[in-house]
Amino acid sequence: MDQIVIRGGQRLKGRIPISGAKNAALTLLPCALLTDEPLTLRNLPRLADVDGFGHLLNQLGCSTTIEGSRPEDFGRVMTARTTTLTSTVAPYDIVRKMRASILVLGPLLARAGEATVSLPGGCAIGNRPIDLHLKALEAFGAEIELASGYVKAVAPGGRLAGGKFTFPVVSVGATENAVMAAVLAKGTCVLENAAREPEIVDLCNCLVAMGAHIDGIGTETLTIEGVDRLHGATYRVMADRIEAGSYACAAVITEGDVELVGAKAGEMEATLAALREAGATVEGTKSGIRVAMSGRAQPVTLSTAPYPGFATDMQAQFMAMATLGTGASLFTETIFENRYMHVPELARMGCDIQVKGRTAVVRGVDHLVGAPVMATDLRASMSLIIAGLAAQGQTEVNRVYHLDRGYERLEEKLQAVGADIERISAG
Ligand code: EPZ
């Protein structure tokens, strides 16, 4: 397994290109199942999960071809076409490796009137149930059966009728599955307390470009009037607001000055507000967002929440940034039940973090000391990179396959702004 080695102490200075958003790409790709015409996605990030999703689409009968990048994009162009579905089954051996595979459930149900998808199971940050996905689809008329670790969904008569569902808690994935199921329903589907993340807006905008009728995009109430068919489209994946926020934290902890090229301030207001609370200079530029810092980060008090609140996907990275700050910072993780796996690893580098249930108190220390550490999940891995960039001495991050799921060309991007970082391939 590869390892990333960092020798800390370099201030990050320069421009960091922000790739297409992983969590947008993973909900845009299954849209190719909804039509027999080609869907061309631009600015796709080069990530393990995107490649994995492409393989899953291939298994369902969707052909995918990767072209080069457009000059204005960092990501690649992929054209996906499902002339006819050859399967409506997403098998366990794929779904267990990539939870986002569950996002083929809605599109398969919409296109073929049936879908058999393995239950994804839990992961490092929580047990990740999918009950809300299933309840929303049932509200639209689907018949759902759970057997031998699989979900079998059927639309009576081959097509969902329509209906109304109010989410008891906000769920990004359940909203995405429900919207993708609804676009080809016979009637109208209404979702209340729907997720409002920018990635959902990206999904809805892509579906509208394919001919879907969706009202309330960007709000918590989505009204989808089903149509008989969708056509192909070309759509550009939004910039990754979590990648951008992650590099912003790296700039702050190293007292650097970076421009996040391609980042959109309007999609990450809570992150930018938290960076300003920590004392960073944050300003829009003509091609992105500049983040600069001198001195140590001020204490922050942050509680994760659904968008537009502070993103749970930014919690670990901000915590790493706070470890060298002044005073005590307070984090509350309200979305996932086990999202502090980075804490014991950060402690190995000399951080002072006390976790009690969903809350963590981070007391700034004078310095961090590089150490061998273990990545446990995607965002936890990034918190270790961020701490390593500022630690005295060498940090070796192991199990970097977690990182490769969500951060494209990480070491190249950081080397380009002055970090002393390299990947050691273990063969
Ligand atoms: C998406 O996961 C993201 N993944 C996650 O990013 C992100 O952390 C999460 O949304 C929250 O923003 C992708 O987009 C591929 P949820 P998702 O359904 O859809 C509970 C990363 O690091 N819940 O919004 O799985 C659930 O347990 C990843 O990029 C149910 O109870 O998240 C959690 O407590 C990690 N029943 C809460 O809702 C359900 O049916 C929010 O989960 C579904 C969810």
Structural domain spans, the chain: 3-18+240-424, 22-226
In the prediction, which pLDDT does 128 show? 82
pLDDT in tens, 309-360: 999 999 999 999 999 999 999 999 999 998 999 999 999 999 999 999 999 9
Check if 323 has its Cβ closer than 6 Å to any atom of ligand 1: no
Q: What is the pLDDT of residues 53-88, one digit of tens each?
A: 999 999 999 999 998 888 888 899 999 999 999 999
d(CA 56, CA 416): 34
- The ligand 1 atom at the shortest distance from the C-alpha of residue 335 is 34
User: What strand order describes the sheet that includes 188-192?
Assistant: 163-166, 188-192, 221-225, 213-215
Which residues are CB-neighbours of 351 under 8 A, at least 6 positions away?
A: 323, 343, 362, 365, 368, 387
pTM: predicted TM-score of the whole model, two decimal places: 0.97
DSSP assignment string, 186-211: SSEEEEES----HHHHHHHHHHHHTT
Given this model, what pLDDT does residue 427 score?
Answer: 65
10 Å CB burial of residue 415 (0-12, 13-18, 19+) is middle
Instruction: Determine whether the shortest distance from the Cβ of 23 to ligand 1 is under 6 A.
Output: yes
DSSP state, residue 239:
B
- The CATH superfamily of 3-18+240-424 is Enolpyruvate transferase domain (3.65.10.10)
- Please report where in the chains the tokens 């980075």 appear, as a residue: 342
Backbone dihedral region of 63: left (phi > 0), alpha (psi from -120 to 50 degrees) or beta? beta
Q: Is the CB of 134 under 6 A from ligand 1?
A: no
The annotation places the binding site at: 22-23, 99, 128-132, 313, 335
User: Which of 128, 144, 177 for a ligand 1 pocket mutation test, highest count of atoms within 8 Å of Cβ?
Assistant: 128
Of 123, 189, 204, 206, which is the active-site residue?
123
CATH code that applies to domain 22-226: 3.65.10.10
Minimum mean pLDDT among 1-5, 170-174, 303-307: which range?
A: 1-5
Question: Is any ligand 1 atom within 6 A of the Cβ of residue 129?
Answer: yes
Question: How many whole angstroms separate alpha carbon 176 and alpha carbon 28?
Answer: 10
The answer to whether the beta carbons of residues 203 and 217 sit under 8 Å apart is no
CA-based radius of gyration for the chain: 21
The whole-number average pLDDT for the span 391-413 is 95
Instruction: Give the pLDDT mean for 404-413.
Output: 96
| Cβ 304 under 6 angstroms from ligand 1 | no
The model's pLDDT over 120-158, given as tens digits with 9 standing for 90+, comes to 877 778 888 899 999 999 999 999 999 999 999 999 999
Q: What is the pLDDT of residues 175-228, one digit of tens each?
A: 999 999 999 999 999 999 999 999 999 999 999 999 999 999 999 999 999 999
Under 8 Å CB-to-CB from 191, ≥6 apart: which residues? 136, 164, 165, 166, 167, 175, 178, 179, 182, 221, 222, 224
Q: CB within 8 A of 176, min separation 6: which ones?
A: 27, 103, 106, 195, 199, 200, 203
In this structure, of 91-95, 214-218, 222-226, 260-264, the range with the lowest mean pLDDT score is: 91-95
Backbone angles phi, psi at 157, to 5 degrees: 75, 5
The tokens describing 409, both together, are 């060309």
- 123 assigned to active site: yes
**In what side-by-side order are the strands of the sheet with 150-154?**
89-90, 114-118, 150-154, 143-147
- What Å distances lie between residue 420 and 84, 243, 406, 426, CA to CA? 49, 19, 21, 19
List the residue whose alpha carbon is closest to atom 6 of ligand 1: 313
Identical fold, 3-18+240-424 and 22-226: yes
